[in-house]
Amino acid sequence: MARKPCRVSYRRELVAAIAAVFPAQWFSRFPCQGNPVWTPQKVFWVSVVMSWQPPATLHEQFEAARDVIRKVHPRWRLGTSLSGFLSARQRVMDELRRPLVRRLQLLATAYFQGWRVRGWLLFGVDGSRFETCRTQSNEAGLGCAGKAATTPQVFQTTLQHIGTGLVWDFRLGPGTDSERRHLDDMLSALPPQSMLTADAGFISFDLCTWLCERPHPFVLRVGSNVRLLQDLDSSDWEVEQQRVGRRVYLWPQKKQHLPPVVLRLIVVQDEHRQPIYLVTNILDEEQLSDSDAAEIYRLRWQLELYYRFVKQTFDHQRLHSRTPAMSLAEQAWTVVGLWVLQLISVEQLLAAKQLPASWSAAKARDAARRLLRRALTTDTCVAAQTFRRQLQAATVDQYRRAGPKEIRDWPRKKQETPPGPPKLQPATAQQRQQAQRLPKRQLARL
């Protein structure tokens, strides 16, 4: 007699999936403060479930998440007031943000070593803005950046591991914040000797100096806002290499009491045969060829895909909170919730011997939302159709497109002018003399 196929409860699947990332005992070290109904564990569960749900108002998302969690954890006492939950969510994020990020980073690190790019542990950084409600409080506290008709915005800068596509760190602030300042706050979290790639908006003398001192290799794009010096020759501090590319020097006028940053300039072409100017602190072409540098910078595009799946695939392009603090907390919980789902998905993809970069956010979204719907019922599924198996199959299609994906020029599409070439200038006699006068103790820092 044939055995009946094993059936699995959707509710147990949901508990097992989230507990694999944040088990119940992880929250036990954080005492409940403020509202005793909303413990950190309950706030975490409701916020993660809300981030996976279809777009709706905050009240609708809150009610739907409560319904799911009451089925999954019937012994839990959950508050009914949306305002009470939002206050607790803001408080818990303020208190637990660093432990939450450290926990997610610890889990992500397990996948990094096996997924390098050209032998490098590669990280990319980029920023994006998210619109929020046009209230007087948000306008005063968040500000409006970009076009005149935009609403108040939250600015997010994300540090991503390129090999797996997993988030490594993030910073949030008002729409008028600086992504360069956000990156400065995240630099200390970079793993040792990892490589950084970024667009032209991030490069600065302070950033390059910090990365060279640690040391962290980097491939950064430069634009017309950067002045690079040529022919700044001084045998006292220049490092000799057997094979070097076109050597340039980043040495702003206000920083000439410090040693210049020695860089290699690389010029490649994009898909439209337009020049792209890159700089790297790897001077030896045998360690990093021009083609490898171009490929490393091209893979920075994965961050654009990350923001696309947050904004479009999961439809989190607009926040619903009416105050700046609530808006920042809402966006932080959205990032954490989708980070949890991506970690669960990458683990299952690797178990199925799939590439992490082949992850389909749309298929993972459908699997997560199907799991939430089924958790409200007493249904069970066969082992071949479990949430875990669905995530193992959540990969992008491998077919080749016969034509462009986008065939219309939409009027609201953002059209950005690409960065121009950097300003290349020969070093003056005064600058050469200044380089020779640099103290030996400063030169040793290079």
Q: Which residue has the higher pLDDT, 61 or 245?
A: 61
Please check whether residue 130 is in contact with residue 154, taking contact to mean a CB–CB distance below 8 angstroms: yes
Count how many domains the chain has.
1
Please check whether residue 180 is in contact with residue 106, taking contact to mean a CB–CB distance below 8 angstroms: no
Alpha carbon of 71 to those of 9, 74, 323, 397: distances in Å? Answer: 12, 5, 31, 35
Nearest in space to 343 (alpha carbons), one of 102, 45, 98, 21: 21
Alpha carbon 307 to its chain centroid, in Å, reads 8
Q: What is the mean pLDDT of the chain?
A: 88
Range of the domain at 270: 115-335+420-446
Interatomic CA distance for residues 130 and 9, integer angstroms: 37
**19 part of a folded domain:** no
**220 part of a folded domain:** yes
CATH number at residue 312: 3.90.350
**344 part of a folded domain:** no
Read off the pLDDT of residues 402-422 as tens digits, 9 standing for 90 and up.
Answer: 666 665 666 666 667 788 889
**320 part of a folded domain:** yes
Nearest in space to 137 (alpha carbons), one of 151, 126, 148: 151
Interatomic CA distance for residues 382 and 402, integer angstroms: 38
Instruction: Give the pLDDT band of residue 446 (cuts 50, 70, 90).
Output: very low
Determine which helix (DSSP H) or strand (DSSP E) holds 242, and give its type and residue range: none
Indicate the range of 219-223, 233-237, 422-426 predicted with least confidence.
233-237
Q: pLDDT at position 179, please?
A: 93
Residue 244 has pLDDT above 70, yes or no: no
Instruction: Give the pLDDT band of residue 382 (cuts 50, 70, 90).
Output: confident
Give the mean model confidence (pLDDT) for residues 245-258: 88
**80 part of a folded domain:** no
Interatomic CA distance for residues 197 and 125, integer angstroms: 7
Q: From the CB of residue 404, how many other CB atoms can be counted at a distance below 10 Å?
A: 6
Read off the pLDDT of residues 420-437 as tens digits, 9 standing for 90 and up.
Answer: 889 999 888 888 888 887
Q: Check the CA dihedral 299-303-304-310 and report its sign.
A: positive
Q: What residues contact residue 127 under an 8 Å CB cut-off, 6+ apart?
A: 155, 156, 157, 158, 179, 182, 201
Q: pLDDT at position 349, please?
A: 93
Instruction: Give the pLDDT band of residue 239 (cuts 50, 70, 90).
Output: very low
**171 part of a folded domain:** yes
Give the mean model confidence (pLDDT) for residues 244-259: 86
Q: pLDDT at position 20, please?
A: 93
Residue 72 has pLDDT above 60, yes or no: yes
**154 part of a folded domain:** yes
Q: What residues contact residue 160 under an 8 Å CB cut-off, 6+ apart?
A: 123, 124, 125, 126, 166, 167, 168, 302, 303, 306
**159 part of a folded domain:** yes
Residue 200 has pLDDT above 80, yes or no: yes
